[in-house]
Chain A
């Protein structure tokens, strides 16, 4: 029963976050082109004990979903799959010897605010770096590329932290 509930919550999160990205955040463009990519949060906040195969398949599915709706070339799929692959290695540093229930997720209330911020910053930065390298590096010079990379990463990180504080506060156990 437990497992079924977790899967149901996962499906709900997938739909909500994909819809939020497609219908709301894809229409937000700070300074003309800075577009927060909160769909990465879906992979970042899956429970600690999500099996590897599920993590990879979900990353692929979420990436593909965003690509289909932005008429993309597969850049979201490629980068998010890599993030799904990377997540367990990063999270290893945070779980250590802690006892972890199937319900626990990497949220700010579970990890502590600073730890959480650090965790998402690493993965979001890697994600944005890969994505922008694929999408625009061929066409722009290095300095505008770096500025855009940093501004976009910071925007995404801030939006994810706000979402985490708003929606994840009471899900500690």
Chain B
């Protein structure tokens, strides 16, 4: 017994190490469970609170750049107004009688923290369930696509950006309308990949890749990036396209969370289909 006690007191640090390392590995293995647990929530809101304080100080630093971006977006939106269009068809007999219904509404938010260097990255924004943000809503920024909402707390939300291995967005070529799937292979945050792109349709360097609108959370036509190079995947017969993202994910700060006002109706339609 004495021997055992001496053995333990001599090598206690090995046991302590094994216990702590075991705890860390349990954290890694059960990550999805831990993230949704009370302690995971507490950790997330601590980080959120501190990042929010930091953002309230640092957001003034690049206000100039941010303003320029927003003004540019405003100009683009202004150009889309009916008032800035000239009617080419002057057909006196036709009556234009179209009534539009609002499908998407937008909530502005600021990114208060982000990771970029890891395989799976996350952005945190300063709007949460109290402001109507829910998981699975799409997120865009003035220069393009950002991602979807993963989790929310009362006043904050975590975004799964396109820089994540589980992020698979349906995209298409703006010129030819050919669709593919946007993925991120890790590495630089400036470059992404489009896979499952049909090789039968013409593709050019510099083509614009936009969101397809197939997934209900992101409207059609949001710019994603530009084609840099492409190669044929011999095994599948599809192109693998390397693209340069239109947004600099290191810089963007102001984002819009998109609320699809028809999502309930769409879900109703899809209900029951999963069982088949």
**Which residues does A use to contact B, with CB under 8 Å?**
23, 26, 29, 31-35, 52-53, 55-57, 59-60, 63, 67-75, 77-78, 81-82, 84-85, 134-136, 138-140, 144, 148
| Min CB–CB distance A71 → chain B (angstroms) | 4
CB proximity of B122 to chain A, nearest CB, Å: 4
**Which of B9-17, B101-109, B223-231 participates in binding chain A?**
B9-17
Residues of B within 8 A of A57 (CB): 16, 20
Q: How far is the CA of A140 from the CA of B184 in the complex (A)?
A: 11
B74 CB to nearest chain A CB (Å): 28
User: Does B186 lie within 8 Å of A68, measured CB to CB?
Assistant: no
Q: How many residues does chain B have at the interface if contact means C-beta atoms less than 8 Å apart?
A: 37
Assess A82 versus B21: contact at CB under 8 Å? Given A52-B16, A56-B16, A74-B31.
yes
Given known pairs A29-B116, A72-B118, A140-B187, the reply for A85 and B17 (CB within 8 Å) is yes
Are B13 and A52 within 8 A (Cβ)? yes
Residue of B nearest to A31 (CB): B188
**Is B158 among interface residues, defined by CB-CB distance under 8 A?**
yes
Bound CA–CA A163/B201 (angstroms): 55
Query: Can you list 5 pairs linking A and B with CB atoms under 8 Å apart?
Result: A33-B187, A60-B20, A70-B118, A71-B115, A81-B24
Q: Are A77 and B16 in contact (CB under 8 A)?
A: no
Contact in complex: B115, A26 (CB < 8 Å): yes
- Beyond the given A53-B12, A56-B13, A81-B21, please list 18 additional residue pairs across the A-B interface where CB-CB is below 8 A: A29-B117, A29-B189, A35-B116, A53-B13, A56-B17, A57-B16, A67-B27, A68-B47, A74-B27, A75-B28, A78-B21, A78-B25, A81-B24, A85-B13, A134-B28, A136-B118, A138-B119, A148-B187
Q: Which of A35, A84, A139 contacts B186 (CB 8 A)?
A: A139
| B24 contacts A74, C-beta separation under 8 Å | yes
CB pair B28–A32 under 8 Å, yes or no, is no
Q: Does chain A have a CB within 8 A of B54?
A: yes
Contact partners of A59 in chain B: CB under 8 A: 20
A77 touching B13 by the CB < 8 A rule?
A: no
Tell whether A78 pairs with B28 under 8 Å between CB atoms, given A56-B20, A85-B17.
yes
Chain B residues in 8 Å Cβ range of A63:
24
Residue in B closest to A72 when the chains form the complex, CB atoms: B118
